[in-house]
């Protein structure tokens, strides 16, 4: 917030130099970055604009920096402006000026302080995350997707976008896995052995138990009921983990409405899907360059003379219907409709993505968050969206290049496919989070046990909560477990594999970083509560005044306020590169800055109500910053934290 303001001052100074003819207009193209100086002795902020813009200005960086610093000198906000090194402009901002932001922070509150304004108008974004099959509980592996996805949504919202949170339920009746799941449940209710490769974990027995009052051999009915049960459990677990959705979208509903069939007809009409028994595959060289295009003949129906029967009539009875996704950047064509008439999930995906775009609230952009085992889907999903967006085309002249000739029937098709792919890449963003390794006693903890049991997210929360709040209620334990687990998932870059140290997570000591942050919040609440009892109410104010701002002179006070004002910049950056771990890192830094302030600046001094007042405002501001960051992360900001000395040591 403060940085953007300072950048404005720079822009103003640069404009005045352009107007006076001292600088060419091209320097406008260089970006103004207000960064942290490496060495705090260099000041509060550093700007490298002079180095970046030197070429465009036709001056050497030092000279340009000198000019700029002179132009900036008119602003009262600065205590000092120095040109250093190769052309840095080091800025020191007046403490009283930084303090003058306090009333703004207090007015904005936790929900306002994190808001950053997007460059253009905010987008309408649909974020789909977790979306696991309804054949088991949410695992600790999916936990990362849940934590990441929900926080990304919060961050995108704070950055000025409208977000729709969505869960896609893979409940298509054609799913073999779901059928197997239902058969396993059915077998257990009947006291029969579970089918080979069936589902065996305790949770399957739980589902069976919940259906024990149903006396039926109807696999479809059992499938439907056990899915419902599983989805309910997933919802409960996610909710306890602080994850709520706007839409739980049923795949089967697409089939029921005939949308999948309609989409498939459309694809055939557009000529991007057909039943020719040939699959095209790409051989890729380094850099994803197409080295060769070759074909495989699949289960070829032949006539009496042994000739391949091709069927482009649009009827796919007895034939495999292929999506020609190689034309759309995928490395092989994909099956839409099997020979036996059952649709694949790719078929539903086409209809699903169309529906997402067509709903009025999700016009602009789709974000899909997938686990590390799904990264091969990026190309496939993009091709699906491209196929859906593909507009009808004339085949046109044959292509020139040899590769294109093998891939496209004409220049017209090639152009249409490329256009569709470009648009698809613009409108669909697939974010992959990397693997989490769970360590217990320094050894990897298996997520899927040999007996078929799964390490569920809900169990992780319970286990951590039990250790941290051994005397708490079940609800308190679950909530504490949620806070710790979320923080651990979120403190690392989602695009990096990391080790989740269960032993550390279960410690309620200072070793656990989440408490470091929460403790800062609780400490502030404690100070504020005491101030209410010790200081006369009439001396308290939330209004600012130059006299009050002048009292804020300690470097630690200034540091805390500056840090609080940084939150909106962190949110903007996180929303741009989807790196929401910045918010967790930020929370730790803000807490650290506050703890240092606390140590050096006694807040409540009854003999000096004015200074107390100023410092209480700093506390309020910090509380708002911490609450805001923790809200984004989906972690609670406690008012009290008591060291559990009464708890017997382990």
> Rule CB under 7 A: which of 35-54 touch RNA?
35-39, 41-42, 46, 48, 51-52
Q: Which of residues 579-598 bind RNA (CB under 7 A)?
A: 579, 581-582, 585, 588, 592, 595-596, 598
Task: Determine if 173 is a binding residue for RNA (CB under 7 A).
Answer: no
The whole-angstrom distance between residue 529's C-alpha and the CA centroid of its chain comes to 36
Identify which of residues 339 and 359 has a Cβ nearer to RNA in the complex: 339
Identify which of residues 86 and 398 has a Cβ nearer to RNA in the complex: 86
Exposure class string for 157-188: b at 16+ Cβ within 10 A, else e? bbbbbebbbbbbbbbbebbeebebbbbbbbbb
Per-residue interface string for the shown chain with RNA, residues 389-428, x marking contact by CB under 7 A? ----------------------------------------
d(CA 623, CA 630): 10
d(CA 231, CA 218): 20
CB of 343 to RNA, least distance (A): 8
CB of 215 to RNA, least distance (A): 29
Identify which of residues 168 and 393 has a Cβ nearer to RNA in the complex: 168
Identify which of residues 312 and 600 has a Cβ nearer to RNA in the complex: 600
Identify which of residues 394 and 511 has a Cβ nearer to RNA in the complex: 511
Task: Determine if 301 is a binding residue for RNA (CB under 7 A).
Answer: no
Identify which of residues 416 and 561 has a Cβ nearer to RNA in the complex: 561
CB of 231 to RNA, least distance (A): 13
d(CA 517, CA 510): 10
Near RNA by CB under 7 A: residue from 292, 510, 543, 547: 510
Task: Determine if 440 is a binding residue for RNA (CB under 7 A).
Answer: no
Task: Please say whether the beta carbons of 264 and 254 come within 8 A.
Answer: no
- Nearest Cα neighbor of 167 from 69, 245, 238, 63 is 245
Q: Which CB contacts under 8 angstroms, 24+ apart, belong to 645-650?
A: 647/470, 647/471, 647/508
Sole residue written with tokens 């705090």? 40
CB of 20 to RNA, least distance (A): 25
CB of 299 to RNA, least distance (A): 5
Task: Determine if 515 is a binding residue for RNA (CB under 7 A).
Answer: yes
Per-residue interface string for the shown chain with RNA, residues 125-144, x marking contact by CB under 7 A? --------x-----------
Task: Determine if 496 is a binding residue for RNA (CB under 7 A).
Answer: yes
d(CA 158, CA 568): 8
Near RNA by CB under 7 A: residue from 177, 236, 422, 473: 177
Identify which of residues 270 and 573 has a Cβ nearer to RNA in the complex: 573
Structure tokens at 238: 């996610």
d(CA 345, CA 176): 11
Identify which of residues 36 and 262 has a Cβ nearer to RNA in the complex: 36
β 365-370/334-337 pair status: unpaired
Near RNA by CB under 7 A: residue from 396, 498, 541, 550: 498
- How many CB atoms within 10 Å of residue 15? 15
Identify which of residues 393 and 521 has a Cβ nearer to RNA in the complex: 521
β 278-285/273-274 pair status: unpaired
Near RNA by CB under 7 A: residue from 69, 90, 362, 568: 90
Near RNA by CB under 7 A: residue from 542, 602, 606, 608: 602
d(CA 596, CA 616): 15
Task: Determine if 536 is a binding residue for RNA (CB under 7 A).
Answer: no
| E strand segments, 264-378 | 273-274, 278-285, 289-297, 321-323, 334-337, 365-370
CB of 105 to RNA, least distance (A): 19
Structure tokens at 535: 């200081």
CB of 376 to RNA, least distance (A): 3
Identify which of residues 74 and 534 has a Cβ nearer to RNA in the complex: 534
Identify which of residues 97 and 345 has a Cβ nearer to RNA in the complex: 345
d(CA 54, CA 59): 5
Task: Determine if 382 is a binding residue for RNA (CB under 7 A).
Answer: no
d(CA 390, CA 393): 9
Size of the site for RNA (CB under 7 A): 98
Q: Which stretch binds RNA (CB under 7 A): 157-165, 189-197, 354-362, 513-521?
A: 513-521
Q: Which of residues 194-253 bind RNA (CB under 7 A)?
A: 251
d(CA 77, CA 66): 18
Identify which of residues 304 and 340 has a Cβ nearer to RNA in the complex: 340
Identify which of residues 193 and 376 has a Cβ nearer to RNA in the complex: 376
Task: Determine if 176 is a binding residue for RNA (CB under 7 A).
Answer: yes
Identify which of residues 72 and 416 has a Cβ nearer to RNA in the complex: 72
In a 3-state reduction of DSSP, which class is residue 624? helix
Residue 286 is classified by DSSP as G
Near RNA by CB under 7 A: residue from 119, 286, 400, 450: 286
Task: Determine if 492 is a binding residue for RNA (CB under 7 A).
Answer: yes
Residue 451's Cβ-count burial label (10 Å; 0-12, 13-18, 19+) is: exposed
- Nearest Cα neighbor of 73 from 89, 85, 60 is 89
Task: Please say whether the beta carbons of 198 and 184 come within 8 A.
Answer: yes
Task: Find the largest Cα–Cα distance for the chain.
Answer: 106
Q: Which of residues 603-642 bind RNA (CB under 7 A)?
A: 603-604, 640-642
d(CA 181, CA 184): 5
Task: Please say whether the beta carbons of 309 and 303 come within 8 A.
Answer: yes
d(CA 94, CA 546): 12
Per-residue interface string for the shown chain with RNA, residues 325-354, x marking contact by CB under 7 A? ------xx-xx--xx----xx---------
Near RNA by CB under 7 A: residue from 373, 475, 476, 608: 373
Cα→Cα distances 295→272, 281, 298, Å: 16, 6, 9
Q: Which stretch binds RNA (CB under 7 A): 121-129, 167-175, 225-233, 383-391?
A: 167-175
């Amino acid at each position: 917030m403060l940085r953007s303001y300072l950048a404005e001052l720079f822009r103003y100074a640069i404009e005045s130099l352009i107007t006076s003819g001292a600088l060419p207009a091209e320097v406008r193209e260089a970006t103004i970055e207000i960064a942290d100086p490496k060495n705090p002795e260099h000041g509060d902020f550093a700007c490298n604009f002079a180095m970046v813009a030197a070429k465009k200005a036709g001056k050497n960086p030092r000279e340009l920096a000198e000019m700029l610093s002179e132009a900036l000198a008119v602003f009262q906000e600065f205590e000092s402006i120095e040109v250093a090194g190769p052309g840095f402009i080091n800025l020191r901002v007046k403490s009283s000026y930084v303090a003058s932001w306090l009333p703004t922070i207090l007015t904005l509150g936790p929900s306002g302080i994190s808001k950053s304004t997007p460059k253009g108008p905010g987008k309408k974004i649909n974020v789909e995350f977790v979306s696991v099959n309804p054949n088991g509980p949410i695992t600790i592996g999916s936990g990362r997707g849940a934590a990441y996805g929900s926080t990304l949504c919060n961050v995108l919202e704070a950055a000025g976008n409208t977000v729709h949170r969505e869960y896609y339920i893979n409940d298509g009746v054609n799913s073999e896995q779901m059928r197997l799941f239902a058969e396993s449940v059915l077998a257990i209710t009947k006291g029969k052995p579970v089918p080979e490769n069936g589902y065996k974990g305790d949770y399957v027995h739980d589902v069976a138990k919940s259906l024990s009052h149903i006396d039926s051999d109807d696999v479809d009915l059992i499938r439907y009921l056990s899915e419902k049960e599983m989805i309910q459990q997933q919802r409960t677990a996610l909710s306890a983990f602080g994850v709520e959705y706007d839409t739980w979208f049923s795949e089967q509903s697409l089939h029921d409405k005939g949308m999948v069939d309609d989409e498939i007809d459309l694809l055939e009409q557009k000529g991007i899907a057909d039943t020719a028994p040939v699959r095209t595959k790409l051989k890729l060289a380094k850099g994803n360059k197409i080295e060769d295009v070759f074909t495989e003949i699949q289960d070829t129906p032949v006539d009496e003379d042994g000739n391949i029967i091709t069927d482009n009539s649009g009827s796919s009875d007895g034939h495999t219907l292929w999506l020609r996704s190689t034309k759309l950047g995928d490395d092989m064509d994909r099956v839409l409709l099997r020979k036996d008439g059952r649709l694949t999930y790719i078929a539903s995906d086409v209809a699903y993505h169309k529906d997402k775009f067509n709903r009025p609230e999700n016009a602009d952009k789709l974000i899909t968050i997938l686990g590390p085992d799904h990264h091969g889907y990026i190309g496939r999903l993009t091709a699906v969206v491209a196929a859906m967006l593909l507009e009808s085309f004339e085949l046109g002249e044959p292509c020139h290049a040899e590769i294109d000739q093998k891939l496209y029937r004409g220049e017209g098709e090639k152009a249409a496919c490329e256009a569709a792919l470009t648009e698809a890449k613009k409108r669909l963003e697939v974010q992959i989070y990397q693997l989490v390794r769970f360590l217990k006693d320094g050894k990897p903890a298996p997520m899927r046990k040999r007996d078929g049991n799964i390490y569920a997210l809900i169990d992780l929360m319970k286990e951590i909560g039990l250790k941290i709040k051994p005397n708490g209620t079940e609800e308190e334990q679950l909530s504490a477990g949620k806070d710790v687990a979320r923080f651990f998932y979120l403190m690392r870059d989602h695009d990096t594999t990391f080790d989740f140290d269960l032993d550390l997570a279960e410690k309620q000591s200072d070793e656990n970083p989440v408490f470091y942050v929460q403790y800062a919040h609780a400490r502030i609440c404690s100070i504020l509560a005491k101030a209410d009892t010790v200081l006369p109410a009439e001396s308290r104010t939330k209004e600012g005044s130059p006299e009050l701002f002048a009292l804020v002179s300690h470097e630690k006070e200034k540091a805390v306020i500056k840090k609080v004002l940084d939150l909106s910049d962190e949110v903007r950056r996180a929303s741009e590169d989807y790196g929401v771990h910045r918010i967790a890192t930020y929370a730790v830094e803000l807490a650290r800055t506050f703890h240092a302030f606390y140590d050096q600046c006694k807040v409540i001094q009854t003999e000096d109500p004015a200074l107390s007042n100023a410092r209480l405002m700093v506390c309020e501001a910090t509380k708002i910053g911490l609450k805001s960051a923790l809200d984004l992360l989906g972690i609670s900001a406690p008012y009290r934290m008591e060291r559990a000395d009464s708890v017997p040591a382990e």
